[in-house]
Amino acid sequence: MGMKQPGPQYLKTMVETASPVRNIIALYEKCLFHLGSARKNLAAGDIASKAESLRKAMDILFYLDNALDANKPEAAQPLHDSYQMVLAQLSLANSENSAAALDLAEKWLVGLLEAWQGIAPGGGNQGQVKLTP
């Protein structure tokens, strides 16, 4: 049994009042949650659930990539390239059931998350909801 999820109104308020950086951090954490689910499903041989978890993670990455500010290419291009590398590994993890590709994507995503946490207001991971599968 997992933790009880916060109510929809609470989540809506949390997202609407959080800083943009905090929202990005929450999306990274949710993406990593889905990668953890994909890993468990892959290990259990549940290929359909693995694929669904990877699809959800990839949807988050596509959203983050599409939200990049094209007017600031010096910041957007490195992030775009990073997202494309992670997406390529997730595609490989899905098509070849590759735990190694999943590991690499997760490692890169954790590095990006840590960078965002470092620039978040207040620094670190204070006040964040921990998402665990």
**Residue range 9-63, pLDDT digits in tens:** 655 565 566 788 999 999 999 999 999 999 999 999 999 999 999 999 999 999 9
The rounded distance, in Å, linking the Cα atoms of 16 and 84 is 28
Spell out the domain ranges in the chain. 18-119
What is 18-119's CATH number? 1.20.120.340
Angle CA 32–36–42, to nearest 5: 140
Specify the pLDDT at position 8.
Answer: 66
Name residue 32's amino acid.
L
Angle CA 127–129–133, to nearest 5: 160
What is the pTM for the complete model shown? 0.79
| CB-based contact 128:25 (threshold 8 Å) | yes
| pLDDT tens digits for range 52-98 | 999 999 999 999 999 999 898 888 999 999 999 999 999 999 999 99
The rounded distance, in Å, linking the Cα atoms of 122 and 96 is 41
* 9-22-2-43 Cα dihedral, nearest 10 degrees: 140
